[in-house]
Structure 1
Amino acid sequence: MDMLNEFRDMVQRFLQAEVEPNIEQWEADKLMPKSFWPVMGGAGLLLVDFEAEHGGAEADFDVSLMVQEEMCRMGYHALASAYNIHANIVAPYILNIGTDAQKQHWLPGMASGEIVTALGMTEPSAGSDLAALRTRAVRDGDDYIINGSKVFITNGIHADMVVVAAKTDPEKGAKGVSLFLVDASLPGFEKGKKIEKMGQHSGDTAELFFSDVRVPADALLGKEGHGFAYMMSELPRERLGVAVQAIGHVQGALDMTVEYVKERQAFGQSVAKFQNTRFKLADVKTELELCRALMEKCLAKFKRDEMTVEDAAMLKYAATDMQVRVISECLQLFGGYGYTDEYPISRFYRDARVQTIYAGSTEIMKEIVARSILGR
């Protein structure tokens, strides 16, 4: 058994033992407890593709993606989204851009789950348009003073540290954006109440507010004014994670739908024997495998450092659009039972919907692809 399959078997056993008995309560509470992060860290699931000196398992990047895929396949989409932000987005920002001191300060705690992180980019007036940020960071001696707000922040309630995008030079547009590692315990940093959502109920999503938050100059991540470029460079990895979540989620929905239609009887025979059912399942399987092939192609390019922002946009658009559309078809095959919380397919349907919105909306993905074809 190769490393990926060994890890997959371990991840499946972990999720069955630690998540499955608790997921319904977390969904009812509308929040996964913060205490679960050290449980994941203790099992070696966080920062698995990082070096041992940073607390990682030195596994391949494929393993990090597989963890998210398995979480979604088993129906824990909110957990996968939280994991993606913490381990697949914030951690690489620090690893690729941070100083040695920043890496030593944050990464081991992130790997153990003792430190939970979030990404503070989206604002009430700036969603996919990151160049329109209003949060400001003004230099004051050896510090920066941050003022502004963020919204729809995954891991916002539990976060101990947030990577915050702020304007350090408003006159320069996108070239005036910088990134900061902001300790959530600092005075002036406030967390709003948890945002109630249509799906991913156990997910931790919040508003964040910054009122004269004073951070030391060494909290600057990378170079001042390079924040937008850093965000663009990390988008391929982020959108790979979102696409893998879509693929895992559809696989899980397909598996449970196949099981249901084989057992369900209508008009004296199994629902699986109706041509409509068989054709619908054939459509789902085909669309799933097409997106899986595109994802594997993009992953290979990513490993060669050849995956472009346009590649990531196509993949994210294709996979999440497929996810929302075909899970709706799967739910339809459950009939009235699909609309009840008794069957997990209803949670799959709710949890999938946001995938075409966060990490860059479908419309923005199409615009990126169109520009790559036509120019601006």
Structure 2
Amino acid sequence: MWNPYSEEHEHFRKTVRQFAEKEIAPYSDEWEKAKYFPDELFKKAGQLGILGAHYPEACGGSGGDYWFSVAKAQELPRGRSAGVTMALLVQTDMATPVIADLGTPEQIDEFLKPALSGDRIAAIGVSEPGAGSDVAGIRTAARRDGGDYVLNGQKTFITNGARASFVTLLAKTNPETGSHGCTFFLVPTDVKGFKVGKRLEKIGNHSSDTAELWLEDVRIPERYRLGEEDMGFMYLMQNFQAERLIGAVSGIAGARYAIEFSRQYGEQRVAFGKPIIKREVWQHKFVNMYTKVEMAQAFVDKCVDAYNTDKYEQKGNVSMETVKLISMAKIVAGELVAEVMDTCLQFHGGWGYIEEYPIARAWRDARLLKIGGGTSETMTYYLAKLMGL
């Protein structure tokens, strides 16, 4: 059977696993109740090389391929905190890839390198109250003023928004051209006019902060523009592929762990004289879950291989064929993970509805996968257009 992981990959996987089991899992319940985790966790991950393993050495990374990021995303869920996993993945696979692709040496030194070391915390600022999956509908505006840009607008659903030291932010620079008039900026959060609004109360992922951001006449120098003006939408479509793919990878890993700890529960829980895992109806359901997860994993691995070839081996943009595959993977993973979590919760019976058991949290947290990074319905609509339907 094809195995893309080298000895170096597996050594890195072990590092991430130990980090998740020692630095996250023992505190996951505490952080879930506090609805926050310490900023220093980013620094600890950076010191271990977890944040930058798949980035070039020139950017402050270790020079590895994309399979390193996959190993990271598969092991972080062992920490039993989807909120922490999401916050770290925003740092490594959502807010920063576009800096590596487009950043000047000065931008890389000021923003990317300290993000990969954990000294700075990053957020991605795209979604707005009136523009979620419909990115072309954003209204945050950036106006040139001499050698600066002045930004005004609002962002919402921003993971790491309450703690970030900078935001990789998309704004309209040419409102008359729709989606083609967007530009990326690197916005430090300590500049005048930048405000963190209310922290949003979510149904899951409680340990991660999700906030509204306000920009009122925020002035930043032109050197903080990322890439070319009015090209932001094209850059975003490339950046989205990493976000959607790593979400699928992490989601499937979380589903595997849910099946395993549910199986352990079923081996100990006795009803009507035997462990409930020995009941035929549940044996069939577990076989079905195992089978579907293996199928999804095989497809996602194919997507990762295609992405790794495009971005790391050929050093180019993600091809439209790979974009199509990744969009499919996000849909498949979102639907499957929701199904697995619901089945596992049902398997626990009344205890599945009690916060004391990890399946309750896993069930709540997993619901985001069908929404974040583009809803399943938006992905399906986009795929239909790609296929010419």
Question: CA shift at 1:311, angstroms?
Answer: 1.7
Question: CA shift at 1:309, angstroms?
Answer: 2.4
Question: Are 1:74 and 1:252, in contact at CA under 8 Å, matched by a contact in 2?
Answer: no
Q: Does 1:265 align with 2:267?
A: no
Which residue identity is paired with 1:59?
A: G
The 1-side partners of 2:386 and 2:97 are apart by 26
The 2-side partners of 1:15 and 1:81 are apart by 13
Q: 2:183 corresponds to which residue?
A: 178
Question: CA shift at 1:73, angstroms?
Answer: 4.3
Question: CA shift at 1:53, angstroms?
Answer: 3.5
Question: Are 2:17 and 2:78, in contact at CA under 8 Å, matched by a contact in 1?
Answer: no
In structure 2, list runs of 5 or more residues that go unmatched.
1-5, 311-318
Q: 1:103 corresponds to which residue?
A: 108
Q: 2:223 corresponds to which residue?
A: 218
Which residue identity is paired with 1:360?
A: G
Q: 1:357 corresponds to which residue?
A: 371
Local SS of the residue matching 1:20: helix
Q: Does 1:148 align with 2:153?
A: yes
Q: 1:197 corresponds to which residue?
A: 202
The 2-side partners of 1:134 and 1:164 are apart by 12
The 2-side partners of 1:108 and 1:232 are apart by 23
Which residue identity is paired with 1:121?
A: V
Question: CA shift at 1:270, angstroms?
Answer: 1.1
Q: 1:251 corresponds to which residue?
A: 256
Q: 1:341 corresponds to which residue?
A: 355
Which residue identity is paired with 1:347?
A: R
The 1-side partners of 2:343 and 2:271 are apart by 18
Out of 287, 291, 296, which is 1:291 matched to? 296
Question: Are 1:45 and 1:67, in contact at CA under 8 Å, matched by a contact in 2?
Answer: yes
Q: 2:53 corresponds to which residue?
A: 48
Question: CA shift at 1:177, angstroms?
Answer: 0.6
Out of 273, 283, 287, which is 1:282 matched to? 287
Local SS of the residue matching 1:21: helix
Question: Are 1:123 and 1:150, in contact at CA under 8 Å, matched by a contact in 2?
Answer: yes
Question: Are 1:272 and 1:278, in contact at CA under 8 Å, matched by a contact in 2?
Answer: yes
Deviation by residue 1:50-85 (Cα, 9 ceiling, x = unmatched): 233432222221111221221224422111211221
Tell me the TM-score normalised to structure 1 length: 0.97
Question: CA shift at 1:122, angstroms?
Answer: 0.2
Question: CA shift at 1:184, angstroms?
Answer: 0.6
Give runs of ≥4 in structure 1 deviating > 6 Å: none
Q: 1:372 corresponds to which residue?
A: 386
The 2-side partners of 1:274 and 1:155 are apart by 44
Question: Are 1:317 and 1:365, in contact at CA under 8 Å, matched by a contact in 2?
Answer: yes
Aligned residue pair count: 375
Q: 1:157 corresponds to which residue?
A: 162
The 2-side partners of 1:19 and 1:84 are apart by 14
Q: 2:98 corresponds to which residue?
A: 93
Tell me the TM-score normalised to structure 2 length: 0.94
Question: Are 1:73 and 1:253, in contact at CA under 8 Å, matched by a contact in 2?
Answer: no
Q: Does 1:8 align with 2:22?
A: no
Question: CA shift at 1:11, angstroms?
Answer: 1.3
Out of 125, 128, 131, which is 2:133 matched to? 128
Q: 1:208 corresponds to which residue?
A: 213
The 2-side partners of 1:27 and 1:183 are apart by 28
The 2-side partners of 1:182 and 1:192 are apart by 16
Question: Are 1:192 and 1:206, in contact at CA under 8 Å, matched by a contact in 2?
Answer: yes
Which residue identity is paired with 1:309?
A: V
Question: CA shift at 1:123, angstroms?
Answer: 0.1
Of 33-42 and 173-182, deviating more is 33-42
Which residue identity is paired with 1:342?
A: E
Q: 1:34 corresponds to which residue?
A: 39
Question: CA shift at 1:273, angstroms?
Answer: 1.1
In structure 1, list runs of 5 or more residues that go unmatched.
none
Q: Does 1:75 align with 2:89?
A: no
Local SS of the residue matching 2:10: helix
Identical-residue share of aligned pairs (%): 37
